[in-house]
Structure 1
Amino acid sequence: MTSFQNIQPLNTQQYAKAHILRSDQEALEVAHDLAEQFKLNAIERDAKRTLPFNEIEAFSQSGLWAITVPKEYGGADVDTFTVAQIIALFSGVDGSIGQIPQNHFYALEVLRNNGSEAQKQKLYAEVLAGARFGNALAEFKTKTAAQKQTLLSQNTESFVINGEKFYCTGSLFAHRIPTLVKDEQDREFLVYVSRDSEGLTLIDNWTGFGQKTTGSGTVKFNNVPVTEDDIVRFDTVFSSPTLVGPFAQILHASIETGIARAALEETLERVRLARPWIDSNVESAELDPLTIYEIGRIAVDVRASEVLLKQAARSIEAAKPHPTAENIAKASLDVAKVRAHSTETALKASSKLIELAGSRGSQQKDGLDRHWRNARVHSLHDAARWKYYFIGNFELNHILPPRRGTL
C-alpha cells in the first residue's frame, strides 16, 4: 500500500501548453493517434500494475480532457457520440485508461448544470489548461451505498471536510478531487478539492483483479479547508430533468463497448494465427464451423452494442437544447439499453477470446485475460439487472425511470 500526500499541486500555469481541440474530427484524430501509443505497453502495465502517470499526462495534455467544455468558455463541446467513441477506443486499448476520465467528465457535467457563472469560468479555464478531475464519491464503511458520512462543516475562517472515501477512480492522477459531502442539514454538495490541500491523503490501496491501474483507492479528509467558490450544490442536480445521469452512464457503456470490440478483434487475430487456413482457398467443408459460428455470434453482439451506443448518444443530444421529463427519460432508457447489453457483450466477447484462442489463451504473457478481468470488474459498478427492470417497467407500465446517477 502506498500513500500519496500533497504531491503534484494544482498549478494551471504549468499547463499553459495544453493543446486546445476545436472540433469533433480533430478530437477523434488525436484520440486514435494517442491510443496507438498507449497500446504498446498495455499488457505490461496490466501485468505489473504500473500506474499510467505518463500516459494520463499525455492524455490530458492532448486536449482530450477538455472536449466537453462548452464553446462559450473556449471548449469544443463535442457531440456525445464523439465522447463515447473516444472512451470506447481507449478502453479497448487499456480498460483502466478508458475509465479514468469518466469521473472527470461527470464532474464537468455537474458543473455545467449546477455551477455558478464564476465557478464555470474558473474551473473550465483550469481544465482547458490541462487540469484533471478525479473523484471521491463512494464510501466503504456505510451500511448502504446511498448513505454518506463525509461532512462539510463551517468554522470561523472557512469550510472544512472530514471523512473517508473509497473507489476514488482517477484520484491519484488528479489535480482536483470532486468530493461528495453532506452538511449539517443533510444537503449534498460536490466540492472540487485541490490536490495540494492540507489534510488530504491519497492511498493507493485498490487491489481489484481487473481495471488494475485506475487509481481507485482511498481518499482521507482531515479538516481539509475548502473555499466557498469550490462548493457546488449536488442534491438538486436530479430534482429537475438534466442529462447528468444519462451522460455518466453512457461513458460506462462506452468502456464496455470498447472492451467488447477489442476482444472481438483480438479473437479474429488469434484464430487466424492458429488456423491460417481460414483465409485460404480451401473448401468450406474443411473449416471449423463451430468456431466460425461463435465468432459470428460475438460479432453480431458487438455490433448491436455499438448501434445501441450511437442511438443513446443521439437521444442525449436530442434532449440537450430543452431537457424535459420525457426526453430525459428517453435518454436514460436508451442509455440503460446499451449499458445492460454492453455489459453482457463485453463479458461474452472477452470470455470467447480466451476459449477460441485455445491453450494459448491461458498464457499470462499474452495478456488475453485482461479484457475479461477488466469487463468483469467494471460491470460491478452498478447492476445491469436494474437497467432491465426500468426498461421493462416503462415498456409494460409506461412508468418513467427515476433521475439519478446510475440512470
Structure 2
Amino acid sequence: MSTETLSPVEDRPRVNTGAPFAALLRPAEPAHIIHSDAEAIAIARRLAGEFATESSLRDREGYLPIAEVNAYSQSGLWGITVPKAYGGAGVSYATLAEVIRILAEGDSSIAQITQNHLALVAHIELDGTEAQKKELFGLVLQGTRFGNAFSEKGSKNVAAFETKLQLEGDHAVVNGQKFYTTGALLAHIVPIVAVDDQGKGWLAFADRAAPGLTVVNDWSAFGQRTTASGSIRIENVKVPLNRLVPVAAFDRPTAAGPISQIIQAAIDAGIAAAAIAETVAFVRTRSRPWIDSGKEAASEDPFTVSAVGELVIRLHAAEALLERAGRAIDRALAEPSEDNVTVATLVTSEAKVLTTEIAIAATNKLFELSGTRSTLQEHNLDRHWRNARTHTLHDPVRWKYFHVGNYHLNGVTPPRHPWN
C-alpha cells in the first residue's frame, strides 16, 4: 500500500446528496446594472472564461457552482431582459441568445440555471400588473434570482399540473410536488406553477425560505449534473396575493414559447461550440494520425480536416438561425400579431432542431476524431456528450419537424405552450 498522504476532500457543497438544501442569503450589495447589448456580451465572455476553468472539476466532483452563480447574477446578466422602462437594458433576444451560447460554452450547467429565471422575467412582462412589474423587475435588477417549480414528474403529461392553489384572505396556500426544478436550489424566490379550483393556472412567487417549501438536492442525471434540477415539496406554502401572476401568455399570441425555446437552443449551441473546441485542441496536441493517411500529424489527416470543417459549418448555420430567431422574437414582442408570433415560433423551432443536431454530432465526433485516448477519465471529455444528450431531451425535436412541415404544407399554425 502506498504511504503517500492523501489530500483532504475539498469541502464544497455537492449535488445529489438527497438532502434538503437551505436557502442562500440574498446579495448584500445590489447587482451591477448592464446598459447595452454590447456590454452584456462583453461580460458574458469574461464570465464564460472564468466558468470554463473549473467546469470539468465541478462536473467530475459534483460541486455546486454557488460562487459562480453568485458572480453570474451580480454581474447584471440576469437582468438584461428587464425592459428599459423599468431600468433594465431590454436587450434584443438575439443578444440574449448569444449571451447564453457564450456562457454555455464555458459551462452549460451554469447557463441552464438561468433558463427559467429569464423565461419568468418575460412572463412578468406579458402577464403581470404594473405594480408587479415594478416590484419584481426591481428585485431582479438588484440581483434577486428566480428559481422554478414548474414541472411534475408523475403527472399525465408535462402540461397536466396537480399542484393546487387555494385563496385564503390576503394570501394563497399552495400544495404539491415538483421535479426538474432547475435554478430553485440556489434561488432567492421560487415561482410555483399551480392551479386553482377552477383549473386556472398561476405563478405563485414564493420566498425560497418560506415555511413548507423544501428544495431537495436529489438531481441524479448523468448530464448537466451541476444544475441541481431536483425536487421540491410544497406543503401549505403561503404566498401573498400580490405575488400571484396568472399564466395567461399562451391564451393569446405572445412570444412566451419562443422565448423559452431560444434559451434552450442557445445552451445546445454552446455545448456544441465547446465540444468542437475540445476536438480541435485534442487533435492538434494529443491525437495520432491514422496509419493509412501517410501524414505526420493527426491535424493533417484529410478525413479529420473535412469532418471538423463540416462541424464548424453546421454550428455556424445553427448560430445564424439563433440570431434570426432572436430578431423574430423581438418583432413578435413589439407587435404580437398572430403572424409575427407564428414566425417567431417556427424560426425558433428551426434553430432548436439545428442546435440539437450539432450538439449531438459534435459531442460524438469529439471521440471519433480524437481517438481512444480521448476517452480516458483524466480528460473528462464525455461530459460534453452527457450534457448534450441530457439537455437536448428537454423537448423532442421530432415535433419541431412536424410543426414546421405542417405549417408550410397545410397552413396549420404551431400550438402555443412553453415547449414550442
TM-score tier (shorter): over 0.9
- Structure 2 segments unaligned to the other structure (5+ residues): 1-16, 290-294
Tell me, yes or no, if structure 1 residue 265 matches structure 2 residue 277. yes
Instruction: Give, in angstroms, the shift of residue 191 of structure 1.
Output: 1.1
Give 2:254's aligned residue.
242
Instruction: Give, in angstroms, the shift of residue 16 of structure 1.
Output: 3.5
1:285-312 CA distance string (max 9 Å, x none): x942211121122111111111111111
Q: Which amino acid aligns with 2:179?
A: F
2:137 to 119, 124, 138: 124
Please give the secondary structure, in 2, of the residue aligned with 1:179: strand
Decide which moves more: 101-110 or 392-401.
Answer: 392-401
Instruction: Give, in angstroms, the shift of residue 3 of structure 1.
Output: 2.9
1:306 to 301, 306, 319: 319
Instruction: Give, in angstroms, the shift of residue 156 of structure 1.
Output: 4.7
Q: Give the Cα–Cα distance (whole angstroms) in 2 for the partners of residues 15 and 126 of structure 1.
A: 13
Tell me, yes or no, if structure 1 residue 140 matches structure 2 residue 153. yes
Instruction: Give, in angstroms, the shift of residue 96 of structure 1.
Output: 0.4
Give 2:209's aligned residue.
196
CA contact (8 A) 1:6 1:198 kept: no
What does 1:2-401 correspond to in 2, within 5 Å?
Answer: 2-4=18-20, 6-8=22-24, 11=26, 14-156=27-169, 158-234=171-247, 236-274=248-286, 287-401=300-414
Q: Which amino acid aligns with 1:108?
A: V
Q: Give the Cα–Cα distance (whole angstroms) in 2 for the partners of residues 287 and 96 of structure 1.
A: 34
Q: Give the Cα–Cα distance (whole angstroms) in 1 for the partners of residues 191 and 142 of structure 2.
A: 18
Q: Give the Cα–Cα distance (whole angstroms) in 2 for the partners of residues 317 and 157 of structure 1.
A: 37
1:146-184 CA distance string (max 9 Å, x none): 211100012356311000000000111100111110000
CA contact (8 A) 2:375 2:382 kept: yes
Q: Compared with structure 1, are the counterparts of its residues 156 and 97 closer, same or farther at alpha carbon in structure 2 (3 Å cutoff)?
A: same
CA contact (8 A) 2:170 2:241 kept: no
CA contact (8 A) 1:23 1:76 kept: yes
1:341-384 CA distance string (max 9 Å, x none): 11111000011112211122111221211111101000111100
The percentage of aligned residue pairs carrying the same residue is 41
CA contact (8 A) 1:6 1:200 kept: no
CA contact (8 A) 2:23 2:186 kept: no
Q: Compared with structure 1, are the counterparts of its residues 221 and 31 closer, same or farther at alpha carbon in structure 2 (3 Å cutoff)?
A: same
- Structure 1 segments unaligned to the other structure (5+ residues): none
User: Between Structure 1 and Structure 2, how many residues are aligned?
Assistant: 400
Q: Compared with structure 1, are the counterparts of its residues 132 and 384 closer, same or farther at alpha carbon in structure 2 (3 Å cutoff)?
A: same
CA contact (8 A) 2:268 2:356 kept: yes
Q: Give the Cα–Cα distance (whole angstroms) in 1 for the partners of residues 58 and 22 of structure 2.
A: 25
1:259-300 CA distance string (max 9 Å, x none): 1111111111111113699xxxx899x942211121122111
Q: Give the Cα–Cα distance (whole angstroms) in 2 for the partners of residues 391 and 405 of structure 1.
A: 17
Q: Give the Cα–Cα distance (whole angstroms) in 1 for the partners of residues 265 and 417 of structure 2.
A: 16
Please give the secondary structure, in 2, of the residue aligned with 1:238: helix
Q: Which amino acid aligns with 2:315?
A: V
Instruction: Give, in angstroms, the shift of residue 49 of structure 1.
Output: 0.9
CA contact (8 A) 1:5 1:200 kept: no
Instruction: Give, in angstroms, the shift of residue 15 of structure 1.
Output: 4.3
CA contact (8 A) 2:162 2:176 kept: yes
CA RMSD of aligned residues (A): 1.9
Instruction: Give, in angstroms, the shift of residue 134 of structure 1.
Output: 0.8
TM-score by length of 1: 0.95
Instruction: Give, in angstroms, the shift of residue 24 of structure 1.
Output: 0.8
Please give the secondary structure, in 1, of the residue aligned with 2:225: coil
